[in-house]
Amino acid sequence: MERIDGKKISAQIKEEIAREIEQIKQQGGKTPHLVAVLVGDDPASETYVSHKEKACNKVGMESEVWRLNADISQEELLKKVDQLNQDPQVDGFIVQLPLPDHIDEQKIIEAIDPKKDVDGFHPINMGRMVIGLPAYLSATPAGILELLKRYEIETEGKNCVVLGRSNIVGKPIANLMLQKAYPGNTTVTVCHSRTQNLQAYTQQADILIVAMGKREFVTADMVKDNAVVIDVGIHRIPSDKTKSGWKLRGDVKFDEVSEKASFITPVPGGVGPMTIVSLLKNTIAASQNRIYGE
C-alpha cells in the first residue's frame, strides 16, 4: 500500500508555482492577483480565506480579502462582483460560500466573469469541462486529478466508481474521469443515496472516489484488493488525545481499507491540502489567459 501524501505534493507544487511566478516577474509580466470576497463572519469561512491568503503570499502572488457585512444586499454584492469583473488588476476572484440566506448564491456565481472564475463554479466552466474544452476546474476535482498524475496512477480502461453526486465534487470528478485524457478514459459509475446494492459497485472499483459526507462509511469489505481509494470526506470528531480536543476522519475507514488498497489518501493530509494549490494554479492560468485566450 502506498499512502498518497497530499501534504508533500501540495508543498512541492507550491514551490513550482513560486518559481513560475518569480519567472513571470523577472520577465516583466504581471504578478497574478487573487481577491477573496468574504461576506459576514462565519468562522469556517474566515479560516479558509485566511489559508488562501497565506498560500498566495507564500508563492509570491498578490492577494486581497474584501470583507463585507453580513447584511449587504444582493444588489450591492452584485455591484462588488461587477467591480471585480471590470478591474484589470484583478486576475481572478472567489466569493467564499456559503452566503447569508437573503442572497441567491447561484445569482452571484453566475454574475462572475467566467474568465475570472477561479473557483470554477460558473455553469459555463462546468459546461466547458464536460464538453472537454479548457475550463477552470473547481478545487477538489482538480486536486484529485493532480494526485493521480503525480503518483502516475494508470487510469485508462479502469473501472472508476464515484460515491456522491454533489455539484462541487461528485459530478465534476465523474465527468473528468470520463474525458479522453489522462487522468481519465475510465469507465465511470456514479453512486448516490438512491443507489441500490452499493457494495456490488464499490467491490468492482479499480479506482474508488468517495465524496458522500458519511464518516468512515467505506469499510474494507466494500473495497477490491489493490484498489486506488481517494477519500474526499472530512469530519471532525472529539478526541482526548490531541491538543485541539478533536481529530479528523474521512468517509473511508482508513485503518482497515489501507490494508487492501494499492494507493490511498489519508484524512487529513490527502485531498484537503490539494484544494488550495488548485486555486493558485487557476489564478496563474487566469493571469496568463491560458483558459480563454487574450
Nearer to a second copy, 106 or 289 (CB): 106
Helix boundaries (H) for the chain = 6-26, 43-59, 74-86, 105-111, 123-131, 139-150, 170-178, 198-202, 254-257, 272-287
- State the cell numbers at 65: 480579502
From 79-87, 129-137, 142-150, 275-283, give the range in contact with a second copy by CB under 8 A.
129-137
Report CA 171 to chain centroid distance, whole Å.
13
Shortest distance in whole angstroms from residue 202 CB to a second copy: 11
Based on the shown chain and the rule CB under 8 A, indicate whether residue 189 belongs to the binding site for a second copy: yes
- State the cell numbers at 247: 481529530
- The interface with a second copy within residues 195-214 (CB under 8 A) comprises 195-196, 201
Q: Nearest Cα to 38, choosing from 56, 21, 63, 13?
A: 63
From 84-92, 124-132, 214-222, 238-246, give the range in contact with a second copy by CB under 8 A.
124-132
Identify the residue among 13, 145, 190, 211 touching a second copy (CB under 8 A). Answer: 190
Q: Could you say which DSSP state residue 65 is in?
A: E
Q: Nearest Cα to 112, choosing from 142, 89, 132, 90?
A: 90
Based on the shown chain and the rule CB under 8 A, indicate whether residue 78 belongs to the binding site for a second copy: no
Q: Are strands 235-238 and 246-249 parallel, antiparallel or unpaired?
A: antiparallel
What three-state secondary structure class fits 239? coil
Q: Which residue has the cell 446494492?
A: 197
Based on the shown chain and the rule CB under 8 A, indicate whether residue 86 belongs to the binding site for a second copy: no
Could you tell me how many residues of this chain bind a second copy (CB under 8 A)?
A: 32
The total of other beta-carbon atoms located within 10 Å of residue 265's CB is 30
Based on the shown chain and the rule CB under 8 A, indicate whether residue 128 belongs to the binding site for a second copy: yes
Note if 52 is an active site residue.
yes
Identify the residue among 26, 43, 152, 194 touching a second copy (CB under 8 A). Answer: 194
Based on the shown chain and the rule CB under 8 A, indicate whether residue 178 belongs to the binding site for a second copy: yes
Nearer to a second copy, 40 or 132 (CB): 132
- DSSP string over 219-266: -GGGS-TT-EEEE---EEEE-SSSSSSEEEE-SB-HHHHTTT-SEE--
Cα gap 3→53, rounded to integer Å: 28
From 94-102, 117-125, 224-232, 242-250, give the range in contact with a second copy by CB under 8 A.
117-125
Q: Which residue has the cell 442572497?
A: 103
Query: Which member of 96, 115, 158, 231 is catalytic?
Result: 96
Based on the shown chain and the rule CB under 8 A, indicate whether residue 122 belongs to the binding site for a second copy: yes
Note if 231 is an active site residue.
no
The total of other beta-carbon atoms located within 10 Å of residue 25's CB is 13
Nearer to a second copy, 6 or 141 (CB): 141
Based on the shown chain and the rule CB under 8 A, indicate whether residue 157 belongs to the binding site for a second copy: yes
Note if 96 is an active site residue.
yes
Could you list the residues that contact a second copy (CB under 8 A)?
Answer: 106, 122-128, 130-133, 156-157, 159, 165, 167, 171, 175, 178, 185-192, 194-196, 201
Which positions are annotated as active-site residues?
52, 96, 119
